């Protein structure tokens, strides 16, 4: 982490309004290279809106700016975010249940050959390799042609994570990746988050379970009612103090009770 | 191009895809296999019931001329249904495209420009449907019922309710191309095969085709993964518009006359063919091959029941029976595949 280098991604003065509801107001947020940032907040704190903002699904209200590696990005969209190397693992997985594993893995960026036709052989081969190598599927019954619908929650999560990591992602956004997972599957997911850092990439890790977030992040950002309510480093605060703060914020909207 | 990212990047590419056993293959293509099964059973019944009709090539030749007139639209409708939408207006687009054809021919005297105009009108109608559905978000079943009347209304107003003879000698070449014969096979059928092959390639071998499935399967996931949902749906409607206009041209050239009622009564046949072919009304599932088979089945019931000397009103009984049996089979198969 080099503080003089521009952040991988930065949001400056970003607000987002849906009709009467202000989901985010004037948020400044950044992620540096090789940094894992935890984003904490209760339901309705604006976490989901933040996620969708980072990955291009939402555009900031006029006045807000999105910066990527020191350059301002205009016309923010999902396609642009993915082209820059921002990949997201969604809470709702963002899979197409009736489609095969390989179709899900390459959704939205299917490789084509020189005639502009889908390179299906390559997609199936790479999906098979990833399933065996990263997702730990060893049984012959799990074939890249299988439809996602037939898989368990953890396996689906595996597809979603592998999809985000397969491409040269500079920044991986994980939105409640441990939701609905078994203990061992959760452990595997947390190992994934650590491996992102080891590879010198960055990640934003959103979860409302502090016990999952605290041990793997470099920095914690606390979101409350659409505003940044505070920032901590795990070195500067114990887990007990942190949970205490979270309760205070949820109750009063302020850090100090 | 896609490269392997974090974590380890070594082992990718070396792995061979596990082999598909015949059992797995059958399971995966259970729907198509079932449809083929029903088609074969039906055909066998026809042959047993009326051997002199169904072992004679005349029926197939008659059938090859009439089925494509709506069968081509069934193929294109598959795209729309895969995206979880419906279109009822294509029967009117058939006729409206031909109005473009005759008007441009009157003004310019050019058959080529007339053909172009016909297809462009079809495209415009399709994109208009797509705009109402994908941009404004109006349910397609409802809004295309509206555009069905609307397009028909424009056509009737422009034609003043009367037909147009298409007997000009200048149409000779066009008629040969659309309605002639190639190696003894009616060109109508050849065109249906060509369109089928083209649409198959688009659906199964292009990124656009892959996106059609995803959009119909889970539109939210598609958006989150950066797929341009609006554009995908509009293109599907646009494709159907062009194919409908083309079908209108084939039908009108066949009868050398533009009937103002062109397309009336061929709404339900393509829809039946699409669903018979195993395309899901819930979107995300469908094949061009299935629709092709479905069209052949619907077409052969139509031709077969009458030729077999069975009274015409049994056609509907047969239709109903085949559709019910197929849908029950499809439901049972997909339920088994899920468990």
| Interchain pair B224, A128: CB under 8 A | no
Q: What is the pLDDT of residue A3?
A: 65
Q: Which of A141-145, B73-77, B117-121, B157-161 has the lowest mean pLDDT?
A: A141-145
CA distance A110 to A104: 10
A positions 148-187 inside 8 Å of B (CB)? 149-150, 165-169, 172
Separation CA B230–CA B41 (nearest Å): 41
pTM: 0.88
CA dist B242 → A11, B94, B118 (Å): 45, 9, 8
- Summarised one tens digit per residue, pLDDT across range A24-79 is 989 999 999 889 999 988 878 888 899 889 989 999 999 899 999 989 999 899 98
- DSSP secondary structure string for all residues of B262-315: TTTT-SHHHHHHHHHTT--TTSS---HHHHHHHHHHHHHHHHHHHHTT--TTHH
Judge whether A132 lies within some domain. Answer: no
B224/B220 Cα distance (integer angstroms)? 6
Instruction: State the Cα–Cα distance between residues B16 and B50, nearest whole angstrom.
Output: 51
Which chain A residue has its CA at the smallest distance from B214's CA? A96
Q: Span B107-113, mean pLDDT?
A: 92
CA–centroid distance for B184 within its chain: 24
Chain A to chain B Cβ contacts (< 8 Å)? 147
Phi-psi region of B46 (alpha: psi -120 to 50; beta: other; left: phi over 0): alpha
Chain B residues lying within 8 Å of A97, measured CB to CB = 217-218, 284
Predicted pLDDT at B134: 95
* Spans of all domains in chain B: 52-333
Per the rule left: phi > 0, alpha: psi between -120 and 50, beta: everything else, B309 is: left
- Give the CATH number for residue A20: 3.40.50.300
- Report how many domains make up chain A: 1
Tokens of B317: 């009984």
Alpha-carbon distance of B77 to B238, in angstroms, equals 10
Chain B residues with CB under 8 Å of A112 CB are 206-207
The confidence score (pLDDT) of residue B16 equals 65
Find the length of chain B.
339
pLDDT (tens digit, 9 = 90+) per residue, A91-121?
777 899 889 999 999 998 888 988 889 998 8
Question: What is the dihedral sign for C-alpha A138, A141, A145, A147?
Answer: negative
| Chain A residues near residue B23 by CB distance under 8 angstroms | none
Bridge partners (DSSP) of residue A10 are A30, A67
Are the Cβ atoms of B201 and A150 closer than 8 angstroms? Answer: no
The stretch B11-16 carries a mean pLDDT of 52
Q: Using alpha carbons, list the distances in angstroms from residue A5 to A2, A66, A69.
A: 6, 17, 9
Tell me if A236 is assigned to some domain.
yes
Residues B4-15: what's their mean pLDDT?
Answer: 45
Asked whether B291 and B277 are in contact (CB, 8 A), the reply is yes
Closest listed residue to residue B71, CA positions, set B221, B307, B295, B282: B295
Residue A128 belongs to some domain of the structure: no
Question: What confidence score (pLDDT) does residue B324 get?
Answer: 86
Classify residue A198 as exposed, middle or buried by CB count within 10 Å of its CB (0-12, 13-18, 19+). exposed
Which residues on chain A are in Cβ contact (under 8 Å) with B285? 98
φ, ψ (nearest 5 deg) of residue A112: -125, 155
Please give the residue range of the domain that contains residue A19: 9-96+169-252
pLDDT at B159 > cutoff 70: yes
Identify the bridge partners of residue B269 per DSSP, sorted by sequence position.
none
B5, B17, B224: residue with CB nearest A94: B224
Element (H, E) at B25: helix B22-28
Lowest-pLDDT range, A202-206, B32-36, B205-209?
A: B32-36
On the 0-12 / 13-18 / 19+ scale of CB atoms within 10 A, A252 is exposed
- If you average pLDDT over each of B52-66, B114-128, B260-274, which comes out highest? B114-128
Helix (H) or strand (E) holding A187: helix A183-198
Instruction: Say yes or no: domain B52-333 is CATH 2.40.128.
Output: no
Per-residue pLDDT, B337 = 65
Name the band, by pLDDT with cuts 50, 70 and 90, for residue B105.
very high
- Check if the beta carbon of residue A45 is closer than 8 Å to that of residue A208: no
Confidence of residue A141 (pLDDT cuts 50, 70, 90): low
- Per-residue pLDDT at A91: 73
B9: pLDDT strictly greater than 50: no
* Cβ pair B318, B307 in contact under 8 A: no
Residue A72's CB is within 10 A of a number of other CB atoms, namely 10
In the prediction, which pLDDT does B308 show? 66
For the ranges A224-228, B8-12, B166-170, the lowest mean pLDDT is seen at: B8-12
Query: Residue A247 and residue A231: Cα distance in Å, rounded?
Result: 15
* Length of chain A measured in residues: 257
- DSSP per-residue codes, B194-239: HHHHHHHHHHHHSHHHHHHHHHHH-HHHHHHTT--HHHHHHHHHHH
């Amino acid at each position: 982490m080099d503080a003089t280098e521009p952040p991988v991604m930065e949001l400056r003065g970003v607000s987002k309004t849906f009709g009467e509801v202000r989901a985010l107001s004037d948020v400044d947020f950044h992620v540096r290279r090789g940094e894992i940032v935890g984003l904490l907040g209760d339901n309705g704190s604006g976490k989901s809106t933040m996620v969708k903002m980072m990955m291009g699904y939402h555009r900031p209200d006029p006045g807000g700016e999105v910066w990527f590696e020191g350059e301002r990005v205009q016309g923010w969209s999902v396609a642009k975010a993915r082209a820059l190397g921002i990949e997201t693992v969604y809470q709702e997985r963002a899979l197409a249940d009736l489609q095969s594993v390989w179709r899900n893995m390459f959704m939205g960026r299917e490789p084509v050959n020189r005639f502009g036709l889908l390179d299906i052989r390559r997609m199936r081969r790479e999906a098979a390799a990833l399933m065996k190598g990263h997702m730990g599927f060893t049984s012959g019954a799990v074939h890249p042609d299988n439809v996602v619908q037939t898989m368990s929650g953890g396996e689906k999560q595996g597809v979603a994570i592998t999809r985000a990591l397969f491409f040269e992602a500079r920044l991986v956004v994980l939105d409640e990746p441990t939701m609905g997972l078994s203990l061992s599957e959760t452990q595997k997911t947390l190992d994934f988050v650590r491996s992102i850092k080891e590879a010198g990439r960055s990640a934003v890790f959103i979860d409302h379970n502090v016990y999952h977030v605290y041990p793997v992040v470099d920095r914690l950002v606390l979101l409350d009612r659409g505003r940044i309510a505070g920032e901590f480093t795990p070195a500067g605060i114990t887990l007990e103090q942190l949970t205490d703060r979270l309760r205070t914020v949820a109750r009063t909207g302020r850090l100090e009770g | 191009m896609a490269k392997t990212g974090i974590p380890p990047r070594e082992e990718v590419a070396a792995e061979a895809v596990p082999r598909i056993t015949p059992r797995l293959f059958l399971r995966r293509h259970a729907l198509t296999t079932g449809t083929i099964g029903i088609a074969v059973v039906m055909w066998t019944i026809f042959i047993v019931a009326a051997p002199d009709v169904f072992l004679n090539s005349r029926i197939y030749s008659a059938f090859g001329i009439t089925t494509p007139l709506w069968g081509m639209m069934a193929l294109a409708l598959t795209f729309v249904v895969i995206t979880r939408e419906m279109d009822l207006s294509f029967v009117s687009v058939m006729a409206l495209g031909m109005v473009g054809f005759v008007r441009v021919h009157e003004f310019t005297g050019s058959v080529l420009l007339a053909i172009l105009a016909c297809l462009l009108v079809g495209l415009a109608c399709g994109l208009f449907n797509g705009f109402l559905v994908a941009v404004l978000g109006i349910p397609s079943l409802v809004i295309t019922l509206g555009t069905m009347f609307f397009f028909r209304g424009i056509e009737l107003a422009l034609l003043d309710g009367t037909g147009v003879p298409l007997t000009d000698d200048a149409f000779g070449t066009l008629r040969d191309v659309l309605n002639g014969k190639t190696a003894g096979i009616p060109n109508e059928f050849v065109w249906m095969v060509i369109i089928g092959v083209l649409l198959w390639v688009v659906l199964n071998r292009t990124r656009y085709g892959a996106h059609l499935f995803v959009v119909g399967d889970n539109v939210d996931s598609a958006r989150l993964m950066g797929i341009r949902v609006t554009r995908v749906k509009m293109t599907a409607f646009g494709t159907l518009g062009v194919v409908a206009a083309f079908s209108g041209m084939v039908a009108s050239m066949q009868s050398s006359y533009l009937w103002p009622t062109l397309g009336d009564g061929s709404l339900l046949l393509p829809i039946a063919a699409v669903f018979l072919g195993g395309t899901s009304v819930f979107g995300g599932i469908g094949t061009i091959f299935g629709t092709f088979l479905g069209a052949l089945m619907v077409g052969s019931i139509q031709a077969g029941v009458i030729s077999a000397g069975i009274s015409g009103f049994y056609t509907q009984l047969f239709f109903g029976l085949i559709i019910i049996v197929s849908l029950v089979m499809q439901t049972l198969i997909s339920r088994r595949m899920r468990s």
